[in-house]
Structure 1
Amino acid sequence: MIFASTRTPTDRVTFAEGIFRGLAPDGGLYHPVSHPDLSNVIGDMNAATSFAELAGEVVFALLHDELSRSDAEQITRRAFPFSPAIVSLGPRLQLLELFHGPSCAFKDFGASFLAACMEHFLGARDRRAVILTATSGDTGSAVAQAFHGVHNIEVVILYPSGRVSPLQEKQLTTVGGNVHAVEVHGSFDDCQRMVKEAFVDQRLTSGLSLTSANSINLGRLLPQSFYYLHAAVQMAPARPVFCVPSGNFGNLTAGVLAWKWGMAACRFLATTNANDVVPHYLATGEFAPRPSVPTLSNAMDVGNPSNFERLAALFDHDVTQMRAQIEGASIADADTSATIARYHREQRMFLCPHTATGVLAAERYRDRHTDASADHPILCLATAHPGKFLEVVQEATGEQPPLPPQLAEALARPKVAVPMANQLEPLREFLLDSF
């Protein structure tokens, strides 16, 4: 499979080249030049097919020019000792739980696969890399866990001061070793801008082998398609509506890729909080980035989603094409909190605030389509364990959700972070001095 920049179609790379470059030299994002039909690969699977088995088959089908079948299977076995799970919420509404990995968030799938791929390619070439990534919450903890202790890789994670939950901050600032946390005095958009500026800064790119672990990285994006494909196999012959809580829109982009490759899906429901740039685009045809505003679902507080560039390219930059497959929804904080409270009251179930935005949007979609066939159930992605958002969930329910052991351990460790202004200059100095 060959990939090209969204801005310069002639800038083409292999998968291995793409994951180490991160961002294209022109500032664009790498995306597939063509979309293979995986219908036959998917058609050979059934409900008994394990997630790691499906992932190995898909990786080999996509990347057989660079990875042998044995390498593909080895990488996916190492990356995925955990799996997604489907649970029922009510009539025609199910939850795809993606929080059973080491950091208890869906981003474990992308980060773990990227770490396994990078270690494989670096080992074969005896190279060293510095990963520079920005996080609005879950990316940082997933990357920290996935890359901790990986040979020949240093990890630098930028996060906005006061804009991530206390537990999220602990998860990314207490790992140590080859993982370095930078606390930026600014927004997530500032962090993301600093990372992008670093990748096109000549002093940095000439002195360091920089790459990113954000969802702009191919190695993060591709594996997120695997759980869509696995869920579709589990739910066959139904063609589900996938409801996707969205911030930087990498998760939704991965779902659209899976659909392009032959996954049976009715359509997608893109859910945001008050940072509703993409729902606004779907409604008006105008893409108008703006400063992010803080909400209860903080990992979705993105005012200029990077992956929109990829998403638009998948639909030939035609809003009419995109509307045919994607519907947008925006959920207010008050409704998010009320949904968390209602599910706890009625089902004794805890929802994280991001998942709650998706669940409410899915319910509203279902209520608007009462005549729809049962062949199109709604599958809402549960993006994080509710224990990662103790304050929000406890405020809504009056109870504290149980903490998985790995989260409890993170809370007990001391925070170590480098404070930094929201400009490229101090970041450049830190990177050149440290590595």
Structure 2
Amino acid sequence: MTDQVTTRARVEQSMTRRRRAEVRFRLYGMLSIGFGLLCLVVLFGSIILKGGSAFEQTVLQSEVYLDGDYLELTPQSSVEERRNADYEGLIKQYLKESIPVSGRNERRALYSLVSVGAHWQLQKAVLDNPDLIGTALNIELIMDDDVDQWFKHERDEGRAGRLSELQLGWLEQWASDGRLKSRFSTTFFTNGDSREPELAGVHGAMMGTFLTLMVTFLLSFPIGVAAAIYLEEFAPKNRVTEIVEININNLAAVPSITFGLLGLAIFINIFGVARSTPLIGGLVLTLMTLPTIIISGRAAIKSVPPSIREAAFGLGASKMQVVFHHVLPLALPGMLTGTIIGMAQALGETAPLLMIGMIAFVVDVPGFITDPSTVLPVQIFLWSDSPEQAFTERTSGAIIVLLAFLIMMNTAAVWLRRRLERRW
């Protein structure tokens, strides 16, 4: 009897220890998930706080008289004449009339408050509507990046930044009159890169990213799917195919910069493909994405129940018919999901693209895969290395745009999988 009581007590102690260990394990798991979520919130919060202001732009509400005599223009002037008129001088004349200044230094200080790209606003308005010549144009002139930073950040903190007392007096006067204000920055989404932070935008990088990913998808998806089907359904199981499979698995773990070196050595030095274009970028990212697509494609093919194949064979279908009429349609959702995830990984890559020259400063927006361009990760890298403070918020803003791209691609992968998958 005593032995039974002792044994029962030992069992209860053992069960108590097990329950405590299970509770501790669950607690550790919950703490790990909570810590991960906290880090994610801190990361995204920091990016949004720093980059949210990149979507705002400081402007000066102005009424500029488009003096035809000064511009030497009429509504009947040619497009070339309207394009080459002295809009910059017209803006300077308007500023001098708005605020009386004396001396070259004061005039220079006044002119520097407005962005060097403000005259392009007048040029665009006149090119779009020649009848504006000889009338007063109500327009929001883009301000310089120093004014933009002061108005959005430093003004409330009592800091002057790089502005002089005289300039601060003019800006305070405009602000009190309600003419100096912030609005949504359309230039951030419509302009390409620029040396001036207030004019720099992500349009060129977004188009370069889109074209690069288009080349990557058009090359990597059919090649990856064909390789997965052959290795899984048709390739003989021997030492050669084992070596191929091992190398494909190893390529998935190779550092991405290695693919950049490979693209530099083969596509550029041997085949002479132009640097810094979506074509060469897509070729390099295709090499990097193929292992992921092949591995996910083979896994999707393996997930198709053997009964599907057996039923098709039983009805007299050939091997090709079984694969392309039954196995491939059922495995396609998994293949598409793996492809999108692989392309999302390629979207965030910078190192291989630096090796093939996509770090170049490109102002124009690319229109085709052979045009010079850059991509969002490289654009972020370039802006993060710029000394101007305004490029800091531009960098965070571009990161937000890149994260939006990634979220959309991963959401598309989940939606496609749920939309196309079949349950057995």
TM-score range, shorter chain: under 0.3
Rg larger in 1 or in 2? 2
**Higher normalized helix content (fraction of residues):** 2
TM-score, normalised relative to structure 2: 0.19
**Higher normalized strand content (fraction of residues):** 1
